[in-house]
């Protein structure tokens, strides 16, 4: 399936562009279809699930016909679709629900993770340890049991035999500065080794602490790059901050993030050396 989130962003851009080309303001459009200005704003900023009938009204007002009409209606229909993650609501965590949505339409996923383990590779014990850290910071907005359950569903969905190609680069600094009990980290590292050895569509690499001179800018935080099964959906780069995720689809901005990712990739250990490194690190952790 296509990612509803990605399609909502595409629909938003299409509708905003057509409206502006017709010289119509959002207020004028809202009046024409008997909706609020805020409703148009949310639709054009991909903040709501589209109502197909309302999208058709907008296209009629803007005089869109023929193939373009069918193209946008198809995008709107995809954008309105619901996935398995919707049954969890906020219980699985807003961020995780959003990533499950994006992953549903992914062809390839490339991830640089400088800190905690990627959600797609976490063991349940590792996830529970992170939940305890989150509780210590203050009230949580999700249901822990549902979050863990949904994370396992995400893993099954992405790591299925015909799923997307997944490449992840783990930073050695983050691996050594772990924040979970040593036995949990030991099991987590061996789980990654097993996934890398048994899943042909998964590539795991480690970005070492010692690389010599760094000739290019590196990612400043977690970076994920998504390519989608529908080539008309633009490549998306996602970076993480403490409180929000930032999404980029503009060609120049995406290219900038890809260059940073490719530098880290080029300096990373080979797949074989990575597995040896992870095994040795696990032994070091458990023996301390």
The CATH code of the domain that includes 195 is: 3.30.870
Measured between alpha carbons, how far is 277 from 192 in angstroms, rounded to an integer? 12
Q: Is the pLDDT of residue 51 over 80?
A: yes
In the chain, % of residues over pLDDT 90? 90
The verdict on 250 and 117 lying in the same domain is yes
User: Which long-range contacts does 68-75 make (Cβ < 8 Å, 24+ apart)?
Assistant: 72/11, 72/14, 72/15, 75/7, 75/10, 75/11, 75/14
Mean pLDDT of the chain: 94
What average pLDDT score do residues 67-80 get?
96
The verdict on 30 and 163 lying in the same domain is no
The verdict on 162 and 203 lying in the same domain is yes
What average pLDDT score do residues 20-44 get?
93
Q: Is the pLDDT of residue 116 over 90?
A: no
Domain range enclosing 123 = 84-287
CB neighbour class for 77 (10 Å; exposed up to 12, middle 13-18, buried from 19): middle
The verdict on 253 and 169 lying in the same domain is yes
- Give the number of domains in the chain: 2
The verdict on 162 and 230 lying in the same domain is yes
pLDDT band at 219, cuts 50/70/90?
Answer: confident
pLDDT band at 240, cuts 50/70/90?
Answer: confident
Give the pLDDT score at 243: 75
The verdict on 145 and 277 lying in the same domain is yes
Give the pLDDT score at 163: 95
Partners of 206 in beta bridges: 170
pTM (2 d.p.): 0.92
The verdict on 145 and 214 lying in the same domain is yes
What average pLDDT score do residues 58-87 get?
95
Q: Could you read off the pLDDT of 122-153 as tens digits, one per residue?
A: 999 999 999 999 999 999 999 999 999 999 99
Q: Could you read off the pLDDT of 90-107 as tens digits, one per residue?
A: 999 999 999 999 999 999
Give the pLDDT score at 2: 87
pLDDT band at 215, cuts 50/70/90?
Answer: low
The CATH code of the domain that includes 41 is: 1.10.260.40
């Amino acid at each position: 399936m296509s990612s509803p989130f990605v399609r909502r962003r595409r629909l938003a851009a299409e509708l905003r562009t057509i409206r502006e080309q017709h010289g119509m303001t959002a207020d004028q459009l809202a009046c024409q279809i008997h909706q609020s200005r805020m409703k148009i704003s949310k639709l054009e900023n991909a903040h709501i699930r589209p109502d197909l009938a309302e999208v058709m009204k907008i296209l009629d007002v803007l005089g869109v016909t023929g193939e373009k009409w069918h193209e946008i209606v198809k995008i709107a229909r995809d954008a309105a679709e619901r996935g398995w993650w919707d049954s969890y609501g906020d219980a699985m965590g807003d961020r995780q629900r959003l990533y499950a949505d994006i992953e549903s339409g992914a062809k390839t996923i490339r991830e640089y993770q400088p800190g905690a383990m990627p959600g797609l590779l976490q063991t349940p014990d590792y996830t529970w340890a992170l939940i305890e850290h989150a509780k210590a910071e203050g009230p949580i907005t999700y249901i822990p049991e549902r979050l863990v359950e949904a994370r396992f569903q995400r893993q099954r969905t992405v790591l299925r035999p015909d799923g997307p190609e997944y490449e992840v680069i783990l930073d050695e600094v983050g691996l050594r500065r772990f924040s979970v009990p040593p036995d949990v980290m030991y099991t987590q590292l061996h789980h990654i080794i097993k996934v890398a050895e048994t899943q042909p569509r998964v590539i795991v690499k480690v970005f070492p602490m010692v690389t010599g001179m760094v000739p290019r800018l590196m990612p400043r935080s977690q970076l994920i790059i998504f390519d989608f099964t529908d080539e008309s959906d633009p490549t998306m780069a996602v970076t993480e901050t403490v409180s929000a995720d930032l999404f980029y689809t503009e060609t120049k901005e995406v290219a900038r993030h890809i260059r940073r990712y490719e530098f880290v990739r080029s300096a990373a250990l080979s797949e074989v050396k990575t597995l040896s490194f992870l095994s040795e690190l696990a032994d070091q952790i458990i023996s301390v």
